[in-house]
Structure 1
């Protein structure tokens, strides 16, 4: 589905594009008519909702810009049909928000070399195809600082989608934040093998609560886990967007996406005639990822800890996966004085110290 780029990156070896593609000629803003294809409905409250919020942010940044979107476009041949329809209807730029759209993006882009295509989370590029994603692990780390500070039982549950590098990287970053704030805390993982399944999400959340967790984290697309936390009276860290409406008294914060940063910047480049194919992977510094507002129970001391750690990342020279970092067995995977490369982060397939759970094969 939409985030399997990292799974295939592990197989093929992810390398950021270094080809010297030429810039495209400028296009007047009123003639761009950007078109979007979404993997899910904008009412999902999570992943697609935040992409559409980004689309609206983009429109607001350019008076006269009008865009269109198509919801629930499957990762199959129908994606090509929808993109061709957008092009025939006047879209000079097409955005596809799911990894499984990738090959169809390349297929349609080959037919329309004068049209610009941007693909979320993929790794294939062409003269008129670029990719974009965000360093969500940075926001995950900051949210882990909050979770680690708020647990009383030192047991934090984590509802996890699929055992692929993106999700594993997020769990690890979250756990590093948890252990920075509270070295005695552990993060227990339950896999649900789905991106969006409210029933499974809530069931997993309840199982973690029954196992002793007094704070929950999550990598899933709905508000089911936060609802379970609210009902049980325990704290929760949401995901994708501010999920405090699902847990009005127990929501601590959430790592959130600001897709509009990429959408706005892409349109600006198109208007200025500076757009060229590249692979975009940006984070806190650029505003691509961030934290939702803190819940009322988060102490000022915890807020300060988060701001201090955020400042370290923003200053450069240090990031979440700088060593020393140990795996579950206590073996040093990232020695002190070194840092994981982007390729290593994008293919991560091991848990850090403090995670309780297995990575299914």
Structure 2
């Protein structure tokens, strides 16, 4: 290389024209899942969000995940390993991961954590959740209109505020649609256990329920409804479209992808900050799956109108007058429940029978 070429090359490099920019390491994003990615419901949709991150950012990100992680000590171990492996951002996707997330985050202050459905935060821990109760209200309306036995079965997972809110929202709107409705509730004490969920659905059907609602993650209750015949149900967390047009007549779909993409971008931009997010139908985090032709047209139109009013903010699913199960006053005529009460809800509304387990 002659002196002139050397000088020109040096000048180009100095000007940033000849040397390619140094490639940055991809942002490593971890996901901890409470069930298998093929559960067809809750974890399936969180994994769809992970895949959307990969598709959106390409080689700018690397994602890793661990599925079927029990809530508790195992979660803390998995989170620790993920942080040690170089994760920049970790999403923990179940309520029972709350304390493990906080504990591990304290040991890794340079790692960002996002916890789904919890309420504890730190400088490097955010929380995010969806207003699932908005979708439960719509399901309750359809259920109340379509039941012929006036008995609606509800499979609860764990007696935490998120699940209690859903039961109350569904019951309030089923009763508005049909004052004769009765709810029977079975607590499965699991998020994902197809055999136990199927047994719960079968027990409710044997008690006369011709509509099954669920806050568990598998498609087993819909399978039990299909086997029984004449029983309808709803997709939970995911569309569960393999069971439509019946028994799956509609669904609540959790759309996590936009939030995941936004938070990964914030890490890339250096703008990530701890926050608490609770989004619903209006923001698109809660979606209502197709209402099938198994639902009478007038009922479907009413459900869509209810969805639109919730999305626009002209109606709130917890609007008074409402009384607690024990007969004490809660919300006066036209009064709307505040988020603090909803976030800590530990009571049934008037008309529901049975006790909430400890």
Give yes or no for TM over 0.5: yes
TM bin (shorter chain): 0.7 to 0.9
| Counterpart Cα distance in 1 of 2:122 and 2:163 | 27
Confirm whether residue 214 of structure 1 aligns to residue 210 of structure 2: yes
Question: Pairwise CA RMSD of aligned residues?
Answer: 2.3
Give the TM-score of the pair, scaled to structure 2. Answer: 0.85
1:156 matched residue in structure 2: 152
Mean CA deviation greater in 142-151 or 263-272: 263-272
SS at match of 1:256: strand
Compute the displacement of 1:80 (Å).
3.8
Give the TM-score of the pair, scaled to structure 1. Answer: 0.85
Confirm whether residue 267 of structure 1 aligns to residue 264 of structure 2: yes
Confirm whether residue 336 of structure 1 aligns to residue 349 of structure 2: no
1:87 matched residue in structure 2: 83
Contact kept? 1:324, 1:336, Cα under 8 Å: yes
Contact kept? 1:226, 1:247, Cα under 8 Å: no
Distance 1:91 1:329, change over 3 A: closer
Mean CA deviation greater in 238-247 or 167-176: 238-247
Distance 1:188 1:311, change over 3 A: same
2:115 matched residue in structure 1: 119
Contact kept? 2:53, 2:260, Cα under 8 Å: yes
* 1:278-334: CA deviation from partner (whole Å, max 9, x where unpaired): 111111111111222223311222221122111211222531112111334665421
SS at match of 1:54: helix
Kindly indicate whether structure 1 or structure 2 has the higher relative contact order, using CA contacts under 8 Å at least 6 residues apart: 1
* 1:14-60: CA deviation from partner (whole Å, max 9, x where unpaired): xxxxxxxxxxxxxx996212111222221222222221111112222
| Counterpart Cα distance in 1 of 2:35 and 2:327 | 40
* 1:78-134: CA deviation from partner (whole Å, max 9, x where unpaired): 434433433343321111112333333233323332221111222222211111111
226, 237, 240: which one aligns with 1:243: 240
| Counterpart Cα distance in 2 of 1:106 and 1:329 | 35
Larger CA Rg, structure 1 vs 2? 2
Confirm whether residue 130 of structure 1 aligns to residue 126 of structure 2: yes
Compute the displacement of 1:247 (Å).
6.2
Matches of residues 303-318 of structure 1 in structure 2 within 5 Å? 303-318=300-315
| Counterpart Cα distance in 2 of 1:83 and 1:117 | 10
- What stretches of structure 2 of length at least 5 have no aligned partner? 1-22
* 1:138-169: CA deviation from partner (whole Å, max 9, x where unpaired): 11111111111211222211122233322211
1:182 matched residue in structure 2: 178
Matches of residues 35-46 of structure 1 in structure 2 within 5 Å? 35-46=30-41
| Counterpart Cα distance in 1 of 2:192 and 2:181 | 28
1:34 matched residue in structure 2: 29
Compute the displacement of 1:268 (Å).
2.5
Contact kept? 2:42, 2:236, Cα under 8 Å: no
Contact kept? 1:230, 1:247, Cα under 8 Å: no
Contact kept? 1:147, 1:237, Cα under 8 Å: no
* 1:253-275: CA deviation from partner (whole Å, max 9, x where unpaired): 12221122321221132233322
- What stretches of structure 1 of length at least 5 have no aligned partner? 1-27
Contact kept? 1:350, 1:359, Cα under 8 Å: yes
2:322 matched residue in structure 1: 325
